[in-house]
Chain A
Amino acid sequence: MTDQAVDTAVEELTKPRNQWLDVWDQFKTHKGAVVGLGFLIFITLFCAIGPLIWDVDPGKLDIRNKDVRPIYMAIFDSEAKTSWARPMGTDHLGRDIMANTMQGGRISLAVGWTAMILAVLIGTLVGVFAGYFKRLDGLLMRFTDLVLSLPILPLLLVMMLLFRDPLRAVFGPEQGIFILIVTGIGITSWMQTARIVRGDVMAIKEREFVLAARSIGTPARRMITRHLLPNVLSPIMVSATLGLATAIITESALSFLGLGFPSDFPTWGKILFDSVDRMTAFPERVIWPGLAISLTVLSVNYIGDGLRDALDPRIRGQ
Chain B
Amino acid sequence: MLDQTPAPLVRVRDLKMHFPIYAGLFRRRVGEVKAVDGVSFDVMEGETLGLVGESGCGKSTCGRAVLRLYDITSGEIAIDGHDIGTVPQPDLRSMRPTMQMVFQDPQASLNPRMTVEAIIKEPLDEHTTLSEAEKREKVAELMDAVGLNRKFAKRYPHAFSGGQRQRIGIARALALNPKFIVCDEPIAALDVSIQAQVVNLLEDLQEQFGLTYLFISHDLSMVRHIATRVAVMYLGKVVELSPREALYADPLHPYTKALLSAVPEPDPTLGTAKERIILQGDVPSPSNPPKGCNFCTRCPVVMDICKQQEPVTHEVQPGRFVACHLFNDTAGPTAGQEV
Contacts and interface: CB of A to CB of B under 8 A. Distances in A.
Bind each other: yes
Interface of A: 9-10, 12-14, 16-17, 19, 207-209, 211-219, 222, 226-227, 230-231, 233, 312-314, 317
B156 A313 contact: yes
Contacts of B113: 230-231, 233, 312-313
Given A227-B111, A314-B158, A317-B158, A215 B150 contact: no
Nearest to B156: A313
Contact of B92 (A10, A217, A317): A217
Contacts of A222: 126
A208 B93 CA distance: 19
Given A211-B103, A216-B122, A317-B156, A9 B109 contact: no
Contacts, number: 89
Most chain A beta-carbon neighbours within 10 Å: one of B93, B111, B117, B159: B111
B229 interface: no
A7 to B, nearest CB: 12
**Smallest CB-CB A-B distances: 4 pairs:** A217-B96, A313-B156, A208-B109, A208-B108
A213 to B, nearest CB: 7
A212 B176 CA distance: 14
Contacts of A214: 69
B123 A216 contact: yes
B166 interface: no
24 contacts: A13-B150, A16-B154, A17-B154, A208-B105, A208-B109, A211-B103, A212-B169, A212-B172, A215-B69, A215-B101, A216-B96, A216-B123, A216-B126, A216-B127, A216-B172, A216-B176, A217-B97, A218-B122, A218-B126, A222-B126, A226-B111, A230-B113, A233-B113, A314-B158
Nearest to B155: A317
B101 A313 contact: no
Interface in B207-260: none
Given A13-B136, A208-B108, A209-B111, A314 B156 contact: yes
B301 interface: no
Contacts of B158: 313-314, 317
A209 B103 CA distance: 9
Given A16-B154, A17-B154, A313-B113, A226 B122 contact: yes
Contacts of A313: 112-113, 156, 158
Most chain B beta-carbon neighbours within 10 Å: one of A214, A219, A222, A233: A214
Contact of A209 (B69, B93, B109): B109
Contacts of A226: 111, 114, 122
Given A9-B150, A211-B64, A216-B176, 4 more contacts: A19-B154, A215-B69, A216-B96, A216-B126
A257 to B, nearest CB: 44
B103 to A, nearest CB: 5
Interface in B79-106: 90, 92-94, 96-97, 99-101, 103-105
Contact of A212 (B90, B97, B101, B140): B101
Contacts of B324: none
B156 A209 contact: no
B142 interface: no
B293 interface: no
A36 to B, nearest CB: 24
Given A213-B122, A317-B156, A14 B136 contact: yes
Nearest to B182: A215
A211 B151 contact: no
B181 to A, nearest CB: 10
Most chain B beta-carbon neighbours within 10 Å: one of A9, A16, A211, A222: A211
Contacts of B94: 217
A212 B103 contact: yes
Nearest to B101: A215
B137 interface: yes
Given A213-B122, A314-B156, A317-B159, A207 B108 contact: yes
A215 B95 CA distance: 10
A107 B98 CA distance: 57
A207 B154 CA distance: 23
Contacts of A211: 64, 69, 103, 109
A277 B100 CA distance: 71
B146 interface: no
Nearest to B104: A208
A149 B115 CA distance: 42
A85 to B, nearest CB: 55
A33 B109 CA distance: 32
Contacts of B9: none
Given A231-B112, A314-B112, A13 B153 contact: yes
A316 to B, nearest CB: 8
B140 A13 contact: yes
A215 B96 contact: yes
Contacts of B151: 9, 12
A165 to B, nearest CB: 48
Given A10-B137, A13-B150, A217-B126, A212 B109 contact: yes
A42 to B, nearest CB: 32
Nearest to B176: A216
A215 B137 contact: no
B17 interface: no
Contacts of B169: 212
B133 interface: yes
B62 interface: no
A12 to B, nearest CB: 7
A14 B137 CA distance: 9
A218 B101 CA distance: 14
Interface string B47-69: 00000000000000000100101
